Every structure is written in structure tokens, then in C-alpha cells.
Amino acid sequence: MDSLLTLLGLFQASLFLCFYIVGLGYQDDTIIDQIKQFISSNPSFVNNLNQSLIFDFFSKQPLLGKYLSQESNSPVNVNWQKFLSSSFGQRIIKKILFEKLARNERKIISKILAVPSCEKVGLKYSTNRTKLPDIIEWSQIGFAKELMNNLNKVVVVAGGESPINEQKWQEFEPSFPYGKNVDRNLIFKKSFFMRSPDTDINCKNESCIKIANYRDYTWIEMAKLVCMTYIPSKKDTFSPPPGYLVSNTIKKCQTILFEDEIYELNDGRGNFYVMHAFEKNGPSLDVVLPNNWTLKRFNISEPLIISPFGSQSECYFNILRDSLGQGYHQKIQIRANNDKNSCLKVPKKSPSPGFKILNTEEEWYVGEVLT
């Protein structure tokens, strides 16, 4: 599971939006409200995207002439509030954004559907392991058929009473706000799914699982994207180029188990990650990483279990993705004591690579993904 716009891509997202809103003529109040709110609070951004396109559109529509400034006849001074408050403006706004700003729609969509940075969110959570139940019922894993809801950032996986089969999945084309996750060929051997995001820790049986119905199939709400971080620095892309990584901090109450071998990613500062999935052609060590990062294959003599971080009721993971589309779960979070940006209580002895970690008691604390 690596998340979404990351996985969908802005270009594909824009096509979904155009098809969904303009092509089908379906008016989704939530989307319209988001667009209106965005334009109202960012008029200069919208106007400066491509003033000539906006002016051309307004000038060719007699009914829209009143929305141009009488002084300069320029779209820079369009009275957006007046336009948005009119019924005609509400009907035409889709065309302005998704037809006439086609060259710049990636910027618009990325703003409307943006995933906040972890620094901006200011997320803090204990890196004690989430408390697991006394009895764990492991499930075998296979090919993960996942969708991302690009409005609420919830990831759903085929499951429930009417899951989509693999043959239908290959032909399946979701419409906005849903988009397919990239193909996830999972490496871990077993998993234990405790509950859907934002469900009560004391839930029982069916109450622990949220089911979404979409296109005559049932989907289980599995994870929720909270924020993103770019390593070593921000790139204007959801698919990192060679030498970069993207980290998604997610809510996911799931424990995973590895056997026999692992591919371990190390940032050289005490933070360890284990590859959980690849897109195609199998796991690869031949990937360009940021400076001081290494990726190695290890044989393990006993199962490695990775469970979420957080307090008793919380479930957080940092999920990294490299330029080959390989995904990693963070398993250990450490930082040097002399790091001025550190917000961790560091254990006296750092765990070694391959360390089996399950419900550990060290009191670590992290404010965001460690870079």
C-alpha cells in the first residue's frame, strides 16, 4: 500500500476529473464546493495560471463580460465572488477549470487534492508499538487490489461479500474520486488486519471493519493517508526520480510477518525499513538511493513481525517508495542524541538489522518522518 496521488499520478487524476465532471455532466457538490473554496481563497493563483486562457474564455462568452474589470478589461481583476455567487457561475466553473485551463490543470488539481506535508500537519505519535490482541489470526496474502479515494485519502482493498476478482480487476477503470493504486506484489508472507482507520479500539468483529460499496463490488477501508514527506528534499512529483524517496505517513491497523529473507533499507542514521511490495520484475537492489542510504538483502532465521506505531489506540506507519516503485514499511526509528532536530528519546542500545520487534517498550517519540 503506498498511496495515492502518488499511485494515481496527476495526469491520470486530471483525466478522471474531466471525465467525471465535464464528460458525464455529473455534479458532485463536494467537488464543486472544494473548487469554489479554492478559487475564493486563491484568486491570484488561479488568475496567474494562464491569464490569456481565462480572458479568451470570458471575452468569447457575452454573458460573462460583466465579470471582467471595466477598467482594464483584464481577467486579473475578475470579480470571483460575484461570479461564484451566481447560478450561472456555479454551472460554468467546471469548464473554466477543467476545459480552458487544460495546460495548467495539473497545478489546479494538485492544489485541490493536495496531500499536506508531515511538517505542516505537525503529526506526533509515540513509537511504542500499537497494542496487539492476545490472539493473532494470521491470513495469507496475495495480489493487493487497492483503490484510493482522492478526496478523503482513504485506501480500500477488495474484500467483503462481493470482492472484485483478478480478471475483472485488470479491466476495471474507476472514476473520480477513486483511482487505482499501483500494482502491489506483496513480499511479506502473512498479515493480521485489526480494524479500519478511525474505528474504536474496543470494536468487536464486524464493527471493526468499514465496508465501501463501489461499482457493484465491496471494498474494505484499510488505510488512510495522513501526510507526505520527500527525501532528501521536495520534488514536484508523486513518483520519485532516481536518488529520491517519498514517504507516506498512514493510519493502518495491520501487522505483517516476514519469513526467510528481507530487503532492508537503512538511512545510515539508525532508521530501518523493510521492503513489503514491488511493482514488477521482482525485488531489486539496483536502485539509486539518496546519499548514505543503503539497501541490502538479509536471510532471517526467525519471523520478523512489524506492527504499527502509536499509543494503545493509534496505528501509524511510515511507508517509503523508491524510484522503482518498491515500497517499504518503517520498522525502527532512531536518531542521534546530538541531532538538533531530534524529538526522540533514544534507547541506550540501537537494535541491529534484522531485530525482531513486537510490542517493544522503548519510549521513542517522533514528530514526522525522519529524514
Which residues, other chains included, contact 229 with Cβ-Cβ below 8 Å and sequence gap of 6+? 117, 118, 119, 246, 247, 249, 368, 369, 371
Arithmetic mean of pLDDT over the chain: 71
Confidence grade of residue 334 (pLDDT, cut at 50, 70, 90) = very low
Rounded Cα distance between 240 and 289, Å, is: 10
Of 103 and 66, which is predicted with more confidence? 66
pLDDT for position 50 = 42
For residue 283, what pLDDT is reported? 95
pLDDT attached to residue 14: 37
Q: Band of the pLDDT at 97, cuts 50, 70, 90? A: low
Phi, psi for residue 8 in degrees, rounded to 5: -85, -45
- Give the pLDDT confidence score for residue 183 in this predicted structure: 74
| 272-290 average pLDDT score | 93
Task: Considering only residues 67 and 126, tell me which one the structure prediction assigns the higher pLDDT.
Answer: 126
For the segment 248-276, the average pLDDT, to the nearest whole number, is 93
pLDDT at 236: 57
Q: Name the residue with higher pLDDT: 16 or 70.
A: 70
Q: Is the pLDDT of residue 370 over 60?
A: no
pLDDT band at residue 361 under the 50/70/90 scheme: very low
What tens digit of pLDDT does each residue of 283-301 get? 999 999 999 999 999 999 9
- Range of lowest pLDDT (80-94, 155-169, 239-253, 346-360): 346-360
pLDDT class for 332, splitting at 50, 70, 90?
confident
Whether this prediction's pTM lies above 0.85 is answered by no
pLDDT greater than 80 at residue 83 = no
Q: What is the pLDDT of residues 199-258, one digit of tens each?
A: 988 898 899 999 999 999 999 999 999 998 888 887 656 678 999 999 999 999 999 999
Highest mean pLDDT among 74-78, 283-287, 308-312, 340-344: 283-287
Please give the pLDDT value at position 181: 82
22 — pLDDT class (breaks 50, 70, 90): very low
Grid cell of 368 as nine digits: 514526522
pLDDT interval class at 58 (50, 70, 90): low
Residue 140 has pLDDT above 50, yes or no: yes
Over residues 30-56, the mean pLDDT reads 52
Q: Give the Cα separation of 146 and 130 in Å (integer).
A: 24
Instruction: Give 197-234 as a DSSP string.
Output: TT--TT--GGGG--EEEETTEEEEEEEEEEEEEEESS-
Q: Are 199 and 208 in contact (CB under 8 A)?
A: yes
Is the pLDDT higher at 265 or at 184?
A: 265
Q: Identify each DSSP E strand in the chain by its residue range.
A: 125-126, 139-140, 143-144, 146-149, 154-158, 178-180, 184-186, 190-195, 211-214, 217-231, 245-251, 253-258, 261-266, 272-278, 294-299, 304-306, 316-321, 327-332, 365-366
